[in-house]
Amino acid sequence: MSKHLAGALGATFVAAASTGVVLAFAPTAAADTDTGSETTMSAEQRPSEDSVSAESPSSEKDEESVEGEEDSVTPPDDVEVSDDDEVSDDEEVPEDEPVVEPEDDSDPPDVEPDDKAPSTSVIVEAPDHTEAPREQPEEDLVDVVGSVVLAGSARTAEVDAEPPPDADTVVLADPPAPAAEDVGFTGRPSFVASVVTVVLRLVKPVLQLFGIELNGTTARIPFFTDGIPPFFVRARLTVTSEDYEGWKTWTLAPRRPSGKVVVGVHGGSFISTASLFHWSTYASLARRTGATVVVPLYRLANAEGTGGTAKTVVPVMADFIAEQVARHGRDNVSVLGDSAGGSIGLAASQMLVARCGGDPECLAETLPGRLVLLSPALDASASNPNIALVDDPLLSPASSKRNGQWWAKGLETEGDPTGTRHPLASPIYGSLEGLPPTTVYAGSLDLRTPDVLVLQQKAVAAGADVTFRLRNGQIHDWMIFGFLPDARRENANLDADLGL
């Protein structure tokens, strides 16, 4: 028996045992889950492309400097506020008692600003007050990100910058307000998620003894990583396949299609095909929303450079997305990319914007209506120093960097000998201008998150229409693990973010 086969069997045994432990504790998940105080919106309440949600942070230090001046909150001058939202100067709000808005199932009143504000938003815990954002110099982004990662990670280390103040922020659906540089992670992991994290910390070093990394595998394991949707996820779906430019593409259509189409760009650290977790996620999405999910299986990277690379895959993916938009209409097409697929989906969207050169008609005919990135691999160079601050129970920094170099083959230049800083391989170095409304999900126990936080800083600076949903105690790609209560809890957000 070969080394990898033995490792795969060992991994299967451990995974089965781990699943048993997790499922045994599953009934207690609801009692141990804290959803935080996040403000969410239904699909009908989600702002259009011309409206956004954003936040403004503040700190305890700033509260002391303005004590006595925050008895009332004055909206921005350029925002029209209804009478119900006004706060009288004679009214006093107790400092120790947070203001809680009553729950109302009715639609919120439409409030339209005179001038459009930057549209980047960060979904975090609701605050007691608001404060104008501070400007963050671009050269300080890494220090700020490092401080935030420290707050959300189990590993500790020294950094040059002082940790930022606690993120006390508010989410404003209407009117929009600019986001700021300080951001925190919301909620807390469920009991099941915590158990899975512990199990992964135990399993990871054992698998590494057999040369197996949890980043991804090239092994074709039946019903798991063989590139075929398993029969047991196909219930109430019509599953077909066809060829596109040498790629096999799968279509998962519900019995009553809504007319919406989601392009699912799977992850796998650039070396693995779609796994059982991906097929389960796509099938659940199709049944839940009525959307048809199309999954192109792009060519995978390898050490020899004979497989897929960013240089060869991203242009074809851009063509595939543009074809779906031309066939179904921009408002009916969205892109869902996780991990490596998040990198490809973002890079392909950036390429479509560049091809159009700012032509609105071209963008309407080729660019998807929405883009959702789950734990995206934004920087193939893995050079962010704050990666070392994250105690990731799933991913390995060394193999992530190696796979990124394989993916960047053919993009080498004199100034970038590995090619890993080319926007095709690392879309974090590309432009955010012209992109469709984008949502990024990331967890505090993910070594990809430091790059997500850098992307957030760039989005704030550019005023890009990007929303960040950052979660405490979540591992890499937790959103595709349907057995986690934490993933199921995000379904409503995910559906709305995809425009379904």
Catalytic residues: 339, 446, 476
Taking phi over 0 as left and psi of -120 to 50 as alpha, with beta for the rest, 449 belongs to alpha
Show the CA angle centred on residue 375, arms to residues 369 and 376, nearest 5°. Answer: 65
The token pair at 362 is 């071209």
Q: Which residues, other chains included, contact 294 with Cβ-Cβ below 8 Å and sequence gap of 6+?
A: 249, 250, 251, 252, 261, 262, 263, 264, 324
* Omega prior to 57 cis, within 30 of 0: no
Q: 281 φ, ψ to 5°? A: -65, -45
Whether 53 contacts 172, CB under 8 Å: yes
List own/partner pairs for 46-52 with CB under 8 A and 24 or more apart: 46/496, 46/497, 46/499, 47/173, 47/174, 47/176, 49/436, 49/437, 49/465, 50/116, 51/173, 51/174, 51/176, 52/117, 52/118, 52/119, 52/120, 52/121, 52/176, 52/465
Distance of CA 354 to the CA centre of its chain: 23
Q: 295 φ, ψ to 5°? A: -125, 100
Q: How far apart are CA 390 and CA 318, in angstroms?
A: 32
Q: How far apart are CA 419 and CA 379, in angstroms?
A: 11
The token pair at 262 is 């989601």
Annotate 21-55 with b (16+ C-beta within 10 A) or e (fewer).
Answer: ebeeebeebeebbeebeebebeeeebbeeebbbbb
The token pair at 20 is 């048993």
Rounded to the nearest 10 degrees, how much is the dihedral formed by the CA atoms of 437, 289, 485, 399?
A: -60
Show the CA angle centred on residue 272, arms to residues 269 and 274, nearest 5°. Answer: 110
Q: Which residues, other chains included, contact 306 with Cβ-Cβ below 8 Å and sequence gap of 6+?
A: none
